[in-house]
Amino acid sequence: MDIFIERRETRPAMGLRSATDLFSEWADNGRDEGMEKGHTASVDIMLERLLEGREKPFTALDIGCGNGWVVRRLSGHPLCTHASGVDGAPSMIAKAKEVDPDGDYVEAMLPDWTPEEPVDLIHTMECLYYLSEPLPFLKTLHDTWMKPGGRLVIGVDHYVENPSSHDWGPSLNVHMALLSIEEWTEGLQKAGFTDIVSTQVGAKEGWSGTLVLTAHRPFDE
């Protein structure tokens, strides 16, 4: 499961800790609340774009749901018939279920897990680059996780055009695939998505902003 992108090797090196172990530790230490607070501004924009023009009932899935805060926001939408979340960090899922016992939260490792039914909307914030092969996984989302006519929104803070994020992987001793905006966009195109839009939101001095990518799975394929 190795991938080489423009000579930047993204193979998880020997001795790296699991991202799911790291995030479980953060949940145990209460750092999930800080993550929620830090990501809220970007997620507000992501959800606005995910739900833009939505007039029919929908199902939704949050990949890397953490303590479930985005799932709960989606569930509160009047047109949402079901929202679920998946995360590989046991303590994150435990916290989500503690806060929302009736919610649908799944502890599972990606890319092996697959939802029982495809959904209309997929949201994922700061998750996909922890995979060994994030770009091929986009094809899986398109083909098996999403209904025709569905919409995807991806939020990424760790990317080539955001230099201040480049040392995150080594500093945390966790694998993070470092991809450019072009590579994410081309990956979505090759996966079969259309109407791909990429923007950088919340940029400021020393910070290039969150990369927000939206894409559709066409009805006619």
DSSP the chain: ---EETTEE-PPPTTPBPHHHHHHHHHHTTHHHHHHHHHHHHHHHHHHHHHTT--S-EEEEEET-TTSHHHHHHHTSTTEEEEEEEES-HHHHHHHHHH-TTSEEEE--TTT---SS-EEEEEEES-GGGSSSHHHHHHHIIIIIEEEEEEEEEEESSSTT-GGGTTHHHHHTB------HHHHHHHHHHHT-EEEEEEEES-BTTB--EEEEEEE--S--
pLDDT in tens, the chain (221 residues): 222 233 233 344 457 899 999 998 988 888 788 788 889 999 999 999 999 999 999 999 999 999 999 999 999 999 999 999 999 999 999 999 999 999 999 999 999 999 999 999 999 999 999 999 999 999 999 999 999 999 999 999 999 999 999 999 999 999 999 999 999 999 999 999 999 999 999 999 999 999 999 999 999 75
Tens digit of each residue's pLDDT (9 = 90 or more) over 132-178? 999 999 999 999 999 999 999 999 999 999 999 999 999 999 999 99
CATH 3.40.50.150 fits 17-216, yes or no: yes
At 14 the pLDDT is 52
**Domain limits, the chain:** 17-216
Q: Model pTM?
A: 0.91
